[in-house]
Structure 1
C-alpha cells in the first residue's frame, strides 16, 4: 500500500526543485490538465492549476512530465531539460513505486 502522505510530500518537493508539470487522474476517469503547481490545503485535499480541490482518496494516479522547457530569450530557441534521472532517484529513495509510460512517470494508487 502506498503511503499517500509520503507521495504528496515527495511530489511537492520535486515540483519545488524542478519546473515540471503533473496531472491527476481521478477514480471517475477525470483527467486534469497539466499543471506546474500543486497545493495541499488540508491533509485530505489537493488542488492544481484550474482544478480542484479534489479529495486525495479519489486519486487513481499521478502523471509526472519530467521535461522542463526553459525560455532562453526572445531570439533564442527554448531549452529542453530532462529531469527524469533526478526524479527517478528521488522516488526510489522514498520507496515510491512508479512506472514509466511513454516518458511520463506514473504513480498509481490502490
Structure 2
C-alpha cells in the first residue's frame, strides 16, 4: 500500500489504494464480514469475467488492510474445519474507499 506520508493506525493520512485493495474493501463494505475464501467466491460469481485475482493475492492483501487500519480481522472457530478469519472494513477503510472512488 502506498502512502503519501508516514502514518499510524490511529492517525490516517491520504492513502492510495491499489485497485485490488479497493475492490476487496468494496466487497467487504457490501457484504459485511467475509473470509478470504468468501471473497474469492464472491469475485468468481460476480466480476470474475473481467477481474480474477489469484487466491494468493487476496490472502496477501487482507493482512495489509488490517495492518493499515482499513479492516479488522476476527478468528472464527469452525467444526470439522480449520478456523477462518473474517474481515470487516473499518471507518478508515470506508473513508479510503470513498476517496479512491472519487
Q: TM-score, normalised by structure 1?
A: 0.31
The structure with more strand, counted as a fraction of residues = 1
Q: TM-score, normalised by structure 2?
A: 0.32
Higher-RCO chain (CA-CA 8 Å, sequence separation at least 6): 2
